[in-house]
Every structure is written in C-alpha cells, then in structure tokens.
Amino acid sequence: MRKEKRQRLEAAGWKVGTAQDFLGLTDEEATLVAVRAELARVLKEARVERHWTQAQLASALGSSQSRVAKMEAADKSVSIDLLVRSLIVSGASGTKIGEAFATVGRKRPARKSA
C-alpha cells in the first residue's frame, strides 16, 4: 500500500495492518497458514500441468473431487500430510515440494507490531 494512501486511511480512523494482526495469529500460526496455502497452490499447478481434472486426481488418491477442491483452496480441514501425499501422487518432484516450503521461508510473515 502506498504511504499516502495508508496515511489517508489512518487519518480517517481506519486501522491498517496485516491479516496476521487482524486474526491475532502468532508468527508460527501465520507460517503454517502460508505453508498450507503454498502447498495448495503447487498442488493445483501440478494437477493442471498433468492435464488432470480434480476428479481424476481424487480417483488417483482414493478420495473425492470435493476433497481435492478443499485441498486446492487450502482449507484448514486438510492436513499438510494429505497435501504432500497429493503432490506426490500428482507427480510433483521432491524438489518441487521442497521449493514450496522454501518459498514460505523466503517470504516470512510480517512480524506483529507492538
């Protein structure tokens, strides 16, 4: 956000912050959310690269299309273990999976301000 816009919003009484601030997440919780989101993004990318539908990936996993949709939406009911297993089934390399974790480490969630 541009500095001028932020100042204008704050002058109007708005509080400007991060999603982490708004939700009251610890740094660890914010990192976990970021990991889940990145794994979900990579899963969808791997599925599309393979020209699979969600139903085809679900069949390969022994799951349902709606579950795959939840995985790709980074739904909190989906475990990180299931996301990683799905990536393996979809043909993602170990390097690609590792890069998803490394990407989150490089982005680092914003620190909560005091």
Of 41-55, 56-70, 100-114, minimum mean pLDDT range: 100-114
For the chain, the domain total comes to: 1
50-101-49 Cα angle (round to 5): 10
* Domain membership of residue 61 as a residue range: 19-107
In a domain, 112, yes or no: no
What is the Cα–Cα distance from 21 to 111, expressed in whole angstroms?
9
CATH label of the domain that carries residue 33: 1.10.260.40
Task: Count Cα atoms within 13 angstroms, Cβ side, for 60.
Answer: 17
pTM check: above 0.85: no
Confidence at residue 107, expressed as pLDDT on a 0 to 100 scale: 59
Give 15-58 pLDDT, tens digit per residue: 888 888 888 999 999 999 999 999 999 999 999 999 999 999 99
